[in-house]
Structure 1
Amino acid sequence: MTGSAGAIHIRDRMSGLCSLVLPELRAVANELPERLRDVAGYHFGWYDDHGRPTIGDPGKLVRPTLTLLSARAAGGMVEHALPAALTVELVHNFSLLHDDVMDGGTVRRHRRTVWSAFGTADAILLGDALLVLAFKSLARLGQTNSATLCDTLLEMVYGQSLDLAFEKEEGITADDALAVAAGKTGALMGYACYLGALSAGTDGRRAEHFRQFGENLGIAFQLVDDILGLWGDPEAIGKPVHTDLQARKKTLPVVAALAGGTVAAGRFATRYRGRARFSAGECAELSTLIEDAGGRAAAERRARRAFADAVDALDLARPVPEAHAELLALADVLTRPDDRR
């Protein structure tokens, strides 16, 4: 684990890499039809909902940063990996737009979600368009087979389908919850690292180790996100807390609490059944019961295990030393709840 100096360094490094990706993102957004171009500008924080320029939040660009650092770690140049970085960021935003529609999320990055501001149709169409642009960006790499991206997308779809189905199902296990985390988040973060390594010209076996690093990091990242969804600061994470509770999501903290076998677990299970909307006070009480039943501790333990698996996989990839240290520092920051802001 890194200290505060390491966290500051990797944040500065992320900022520098983001400055390379953002112009690429703006350029590709300009390829969209005018109507969708305005909606995309809103989604990425460049315009308000009336099309006026604003200083918004385009997101942390975690996935393209992983791509560029993986390229560097595999011995390549970050500039050569920009099409790969752009590809994964476009895919990520495609998934956000569609997921917000499916989940009914109304706030992301401190502003209304696209579907709530412009309507469901525009959100779906923009997501579709970004996915098309992702494949167009991928084609710039030439040697990369698009089938791998298709496999990643199918994993993401599977993870999202499980997430939605589990809202209404009983008997969900910890392994089920981890399958959601692996599909929704691990798949794309793994692909981000894999594609970055391939763009550096490395062989497929070595690139697979980079993928395993990203997949395990993605699981840890998602588990931390699940923890923040229950006990985080809305101002820091850019969206409300307790929305997963309202939707009866079966995240790992919830599943572990339901299986806790304690008085708190029983009380939580009784109150979590049904479909009635919880008040803010009830959500706070439920999050306390989850913690008392051991749900938070279980999620934190599993996140630490996934982090350790990510570190082991990265060692097997034999990364360039300086980039190795940066990837470890980034992984550390991404899996510390206090640093996710």
Structure 2
Amino acid sequence: MSQSTDSAPVADFPRLDWVDEALTPALRAAVEALPAAERLVARYHRGWCEADGAPRRPAKSGGGKAVRPALTLLCALAVGARPSAAVPGAVAVELVHDFTLLHDDVIDGDALRRHRPAAWSLFGTPAAVLTGDALLVAALRALTDAPGGQGPAAQELVGALLELVEGQSRDVAFEQAYEVSVADYLAMATGKTGALIGCACALGGVLGGADPDRVAGLREFGRRLGVAFQCADDVLGIWGRSALSGKPVGADLAARKKSLPVVAALAAPGAASRRLRDLYRAPGPLGANDIALARRLLEETGGRRAAEEEAHRQLAAALRALARARPTADACRQLHALARAMTHRAS
């Protein structure tokens, strides 16, 4: 259940060129400061070069749509600050996001990332893990080197990291658990995905000089948006298209992941739910026919509908929290558009 599909095209996705322009110089500087071996893996992972270090053609400025840095910069704007004040926070959350993706691909055994071989599959597991570690250190350095970053901003990031690790741990534990409730899933998603997106939004407020109440509203906006994003990601991982997502569609089912459609379906009454439970508990790998059957059972039990409805509920809660942060009108409009695009991705 990797946070993997923020590179998927969506209808009416806001143009984030300005975010790229603000972020990329500082982000490249942070990556170039890494040790040589980790620098190569990080540059490859971000799409800046090929595996041998040769520049990639066409050159890419970054991976995905940089939604987390965009949220950081927009949340600074939302509290009346210049987005440039929050660039160190935007760099930090993007580096942490890359750290999680590198480790996620190792944990899940996913060999594809953004339409290319995942870093671990080319450079080896130790190199991918060490690069993730190096990016985490670089994230902390980017923030603590910033004016005012040593206090509340650094505490914000450290708190999110602790939640993120706990959420990832829950996700891994779910693979061996026979019973996972929707409440268990939402607690996992809040840590694994919501914590970092909440941190991205809060950092915009902190570095923008906002008072604690406005920061709290931005944090809750991001946390709820992160859960909505994960719910939508789970649906995309089962019913999306690999050409859009850059990931193998059906991999979560093949790995018997307890994504939200599955959790909701297993909790439903009826023969289809029992059949899905038997499929998930059967020994041996799931083949293409098994995956197709699982998809059909998820539809029949209402698992897909439940996940989509939860995404809508979480998005509504996010937008209510944003209103409590009293955002400026322009930033509010842009944050609404970005939030809706993140949770209504193409499938």
Q: Which residue of 2 aligns with 1:201?
A: 209
Deviation sequence 1:239-297 (CA, Å, 0-9, x none): 01111112221111001111111221121111111341111232122111111111000
SS at match of 2:249: coil
Q: Which residue of 1 aligns with 2:238?
A: 230
Cα pair 1:39 1:114 within 8 Å, conserved: yes
Deviation sequence 1:215-258 (CA, Å, 0-9, x none): 00000000000000110011111101111112221111001111
Q: Distance in 1 between matches of 2:246 and 2:190?
A: 23
Q: Which residue of 2 aligns with 1:3?
A: none
Deviation sequence 1:34-68 (CA, Å, 0-9, x none): 22211111111011112111135612111001000
How many residues align? The count is: 332
Cα pair 1:141 1:199 within 8 Å, conserved: no
Displacement after TM superposition at 1:309 (Å): 0.3
| Most deviating of 82-91 and 282-291 | 282-291
Q: Distance in 1 between matches of 2:283 and 2:29?
A: 44
Cα pair 2:254 2:287 within 8 Å, conserved: no
Q: Distance in 2 between matches of 1:124 and 1:99?
A: 10
Q: Distance in 2 between matches of 1:286 and 1:22?
A: 42
Q: Distance in 2 between matches of 1:236 and 1:259?
A: 30
Q: Distance in 1 between matches of 2:155 and 2:320?
A: 27
In structure 2, which of residues 106, 119, 122 is the aligned counterpart of residue 117 of structure 1? 122
Cα pair 2:11 2:345 within 8 Å, conserved: no
1:128 maps onto 2:133 in alignment: yes
Q: Distance in 2 between matches of 1:235 and 1:268?
A: 27
Q: Which residue of 1 aligns with 2:35?
A: 33
Structure 1 alignment gaps of length 5 or more: 1-5
SS at match of 1:337: coil
Displacement after TM superposition at 1:147 (Å): 2.6
Q: Which residue of 2 aligns with 1:46?
A: 48
Shift in CA distance, 202/268, structure 1 to aligned 2, threshold 3 Å = same
Query: What amino acid does structure 2 have at the position aligned with 1:160?
Result: Q
Cα pair 1:248 1:272 within 8 Å, conserved: yes
Q: Which residue of 2 aligns with 1:311?
A: 319
Identity of aligned residues (%): 47
Q: Distance in 1 between matches of 2:299 and 2:21?
A: 39
Structure 2 alignment gaps of length 5 or more: 1-9
In structure 1, which of residues 316, 330, 336 is the aligned counterpart of residue 344 of structure 2? 336
Q: Distance in 2 between matches of 1:245 and 1:310?
A: 29
SS at match of 1:58: coil
In structure 1, which of residues 288, 292, 310 is the aligned counterpart of residue 296 of structure 2? 288
**Higher RCO (CA-CA < 8 Å; seq separation 6+):** 2
| Most deviating of 46-55 and 137-146 | 137-146
Q: Which residue of 2 aligns with 1:185?
A: 193
Q: Which residue of 2 aligns with 1:93?
A: 98
1:63 maps onto 2:68 in alignment: yes
In structure 1, which of residues 17, 20, 36 is the aligned counterpart of residue 19 of structure 2? 17
Query: What amino acid does structure 1 have at the position aligned with 2:112?
Result: V
SS at match of 1:270: helix
Q: Which residue of 2 aligns with 1:320?
A: 328
Q: Which residue of 2 aligns with 1:268?
A: 276
Q: Distance in 2 between matches of 1:288 and 1:15?
A: 39
1:72 maps onto 2:77 in alignment: yes
Q: Which residue of 2 aligns with 1:256?
A: 264
SS at match of 1:93: helix
Cα pair 1:168 1:248 within 8 Å, conserved: no
Q: Distance in 1 between matches of 2:174 and 2:227?
A: 18
Displacement after TM superposition at 1:7 (Å): 6.1
Cα pair 2:156 2:203 within 8 Å, conserved: no
Q: Distance in 1 between matches of 2:203 and 2:137?
A: 17
Shift in CA distance, 7/273, structure 1 to aligned 2, threshold 3 Å = closer
Cα pair 1:7 1:329 within 8 Å, conserved: no
Q: Distance in 2 between matches of 1:95 and 1:158?
A: 13
Displacement after TM superposition at 1:98 (Å): 1.1
Shift in CA distance, 142/16, structure 1 to aligned 2, threshold 3 Å = closer
Q: Distance in 1 between matches of 2:104 and 2:262?
A: 20
Q: Distance in 1 between matches of 2:88 and 2:174?
A: 36
Q: TM-score, normalised by structure 2?
A: 0.92
In structure 2, which of residues 247, 251, 264 is the aligned counterpart of residue 243 of structure 1? 251
Q: Distance in 1 between matches of 2:23 and 2:194?
A: 21
Q: TM-score, normalised by structure 1?
A: 0.94
Q: Distance in 1 between matches of 2:247 and 2:175?
A: 20
